Chain A
């Protein structure tokens, strides 16, 4: 069966080497930030708490429920973890989960592990958390705001993970974007509903039994969160738009030539997918995208540092 969890664990061979390396660079940077943040926040409790909760997410992925027609819904867990623990701790928990899946069970590749962690543990966690905390601010910390925030956050988190996966496959030349994007996002629109239902169910249970665990996460847990979430969204948007907006006519012209040549060469009476060669998968597009992502990261890093210095200054006065 085509398990929905498997659909996001990219195996080796499906991403090109430059794309894999970009993934590692992004992920390593964020893991280091997360290690620092959680150490400040949790101190010596960091290792046992994160370790046991990573095992929890792994085990919770086993719990499923029948949806319809033999398919079943189950959990990816990134958004649940970030709502319960804050996004930085969730990054570490999900990093451990995805790394163990790759190292111990070969679910997802090793060379592409960087982007697998990024999609399922970082993007997912931060976006879900950003939506959830926005709902808490707007609607207050009521039952309704918990349901709305967690459901939308969980659904959107899965969607963005799928979108990012499709994008990485397309940039690697493995799957054309105009097919991969609707396919991945379409399938995960449904999977996301299962994720949302189960996340809300879990949170409602915890709210009833241990409401203290769902209290306002400590201020220290959330610092920089909005910034990172915004940075990730901008990075995604830039990645999506930049190659399409590239006004360079050479690439387009060449593809048009290729297309013309192909059509005369094939002389097929009908071809269903005549335009489905993706015009922008070339080294040039890759560099544009890489530059965009790196640029966004640098800006995010600088603003993060500035915010830190500012806070120090305001604390000392």
Chain B
């Protein structure tokens, strides 16, 4: 299918897996904030931040290379920043196709790409070591609207069911149309779009009716409009301290960067 639909969570019992999910969520957001706020031209800061994340990935049993590779998934978006190479005032470095790449432009571009790559690694660390239900539970006890969290956990519950439903629809379409060896699609564009649209409509009706059945089943079990969850256990001081360590290290890097490398 070629669709990024695999869960990133890696089951395990590393210290990172066992850490309170609330601490992990807050620490991840702080790490990403710190990464984005890094002074642009503080070049020594980037390898240090990467070393911090790599260290965490070893503790979490993920592996440096795997984390770094998976984090390249946001790289296509760098196209959006590529014009900075040519448009930032600075001294010219190279000429490409008649466009001048300036040193300041190259610097700004690299800084954005690196920051984005590091931020994705931080987000991946969270997703790879925290089961999604734990993540939602953490967001819930961090006072996000309970209804929204309930909707998202419902979505998660039916995500993979509906994916399989979609795969069946796609397989049915593929077996109805005999693909030509040239790979050329048959029919007019409007006809193809109509078929795909029909599949989407079909999927909507199946989903809608499924939601009605689910709701009836919930009512039969005594549902009153709110999902009930267990009370959150108190946050242990040890967990908070453990979560504060990487954030403190990043803060240190940022301070040094602000003072000496900017």
Contact = CB atoms under 8 A, between A and B. Distances in A.
Contacts of B151: 46-47, 50-51, 54, 92, 96
B165 A59 contact: yes
Given A66-B192, A67-B189, A206 B87 contact: no
A43 B200 contact: no
Contacts of B233: none
Given A47-B150, A198-B193, A109 B119 contact: yes
Contacts of A197: 189-190, 193-194, 196-197
A111 B92 CA distance: 33
A141 interface: no
B148 interface: yes
A104 B198 contact: no
Interface stretch (B10-18, B220-228, B234-242): B220-228
B201 interface: yes
B78 to A, nearest CB: 9
B87 A276 contact: yes
A1 B215 CA distance: 40
Interface in A104-140: 104-107, 109-111
Number of contact residues on A: which range applies?
35 or more
Contacts of B196: 63-65, 73-74, 197-198, 201
A59 B159 contact: yes
Contact of B87 (A59, A80, A266, A277): A277
Given A52-B158, A55-B159, A202 B198 contact: yes
A271 interface: yes
Interface in B67-93: 70-71, 73-74, 76-77, 79-81, 83-84, 86-89, 91-92
B129 interface: no
A99 B156 CA distance: 11
Contacts of A209: 201, 205
Contacts of B156: 55, 100, 104
A51 B36 contact: no
A104 B211 contact: no
Given A47-B227, A104-B8, A175-B84, A11 B201 contact: no
Determine the main DSSP class of B at the interface with A: helix
Contacts of B157: 51, 55
Contacts of B232: none
Given A59-B162, A104-B132, A270 B195 contact: no
Contacts of A20: 36
A48 B154 contact: yes
Q: Ordered nearest first, which 4 A-B pairs have the shortest CB separation?
A: A201-B197, A51-B154, A205-B201, A44-B225
Interface of A: 1-3, 6-7, 9-14, 16-17, 20, 31-32, 35, 39, 43-56, 58-60, 62-68, 73-75, 80, 84, 92, 95-97, 99-100, 102-107, 109-111, 169, 174-176, 179-180, 184, 194, 197-206, 209-210, 213, 258-259, 262, 265-266, 268, 270-273, 276-278
Interface of B: 1, 3-5, 7-8, 28-29, 32-33, 35-37, 70-71, 73-74, 76-77, 79-81, 83-84, 86-89, 91-92, 98-100, 112-113, 115-120, 123-124, 127, 132, 135, 145, 147-148, 150-159, 161-163, 165-167, 169-170, 185, 189-190, 192-205, 207-208, 210-211, 214-215, 218-219, 223-225, 227
Given A52-B208, A109-B116, 10 more contacts: A50-B154, A52-B155, A53-B204, A53-B211, A60-B200, A100-B156, A194-B193, A197-B194, A204-B197, A277-B88
